[in-house]
């Protein structure tokens, strides 16, 4: 399989609240909620980087579209890594997330592998890691 990942979709309980967190709190660009004219169609897209978008879609709509039942959400199912260029940028990302209403799960700290990272949860419990890895160039 050749990797062609272009959209990362997060299931949310309150689409408007989630859009406000990512747009107003984290500063991600979006056209807002689209598709409201369709049953189970309301969704919001955010540009992350070249060729990659973040989508927010109600959990009930994902369940309807996939044919699966809504299960119990767990923050440990998946993490999203936000790689930055310095420890200071990790601290700034964590502070911005906290100011936007994120729950700080683990404050930024020096890691055992030589980096610097912290974890926060968005309002729906999705786990983000703000991380500086001296082995990665985020640009």
Whether pLDDT at 1 is above 90: no
Assess if residue 72 is contained within a domain.
no
Residues 92, 53 share a domain = no
Q: Please check whether residues 20 and 48 belong to one and the same domain.
A: yes
d(CA 110, CA 88): 12
71 part of a folded domain: no
Q: Is residue 114 part of a domain?
A: yes
pLDDT digits (tens, 9 = 90+) for 73-129: 889 889 999 999 999 999 999 999 999 999 999 999 999 999 999 999 999 999 999
> In the numeric block, which tokens belong to residue 54?
């973040």
Q: Which domain holds residue 119?
A: 79-132
Instruction: Look at residue 139 and tell me if it is in a domain.
Output: no
State the Cα–Cα distance between residues 79 and 54, nearest whole angstrom. 14
Helix (H) or strand (E) holding 64: helix 59-66
Indicate whether 51 and 13 sit together in one domain: yes
SS3 15: helix
Number of domains making up the chain: 2
Domain for residue 45, yes or no? yes
> Does residue 74 fall inside a structural domain?
no
Residue 88 and residue 61 share a domain: no
CATH of the domain at 29: 3.10.180.10
The predicted-structure confidence for 53-88, as pLDDT tens digits, reads as follows 999 999 999 999 999 999 888 898 899 999 999 999
Quote the strand ranges of 5-124, DSSP E.
7-12, 30-34, 43-49, 52-58, 79-84, 103-110, 116-121
Q: Which of 13, 3, 12 is nearest to 55 (CA)?
A: 12
Tell me, yes or no, whether 14 lies in a domain: yes
């Amino acid at each position: 399989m050749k990797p062609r990942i272009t959209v990362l979709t997060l299931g949310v309980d309150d689409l408007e609240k989630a859009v406000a967190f990512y747009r107003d709190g984290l500063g991600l660009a979006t056209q807002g909620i689209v598709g409201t004219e369709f049953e189970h169609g309301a969704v919001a897209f955010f540009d992350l980087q070249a060729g990659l978008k973040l989508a927010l879609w109600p959990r009930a709509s994902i369940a309807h579209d996939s044919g699966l039942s809504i299960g119990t959400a767990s923050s440990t199912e998946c993490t999203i890594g936000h790689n930055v260029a310095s420890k200071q940028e990790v601290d700034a990302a964590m502070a911005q997330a906290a100011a936007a209403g994120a729950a700080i799960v683990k404050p930024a700290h020096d890691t055992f592998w030589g980096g610097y990272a912290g974890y926060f949860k968005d309002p729906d419990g999705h786990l983000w890691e703000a991380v500086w890895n001296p082995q990665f160039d985020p640009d």
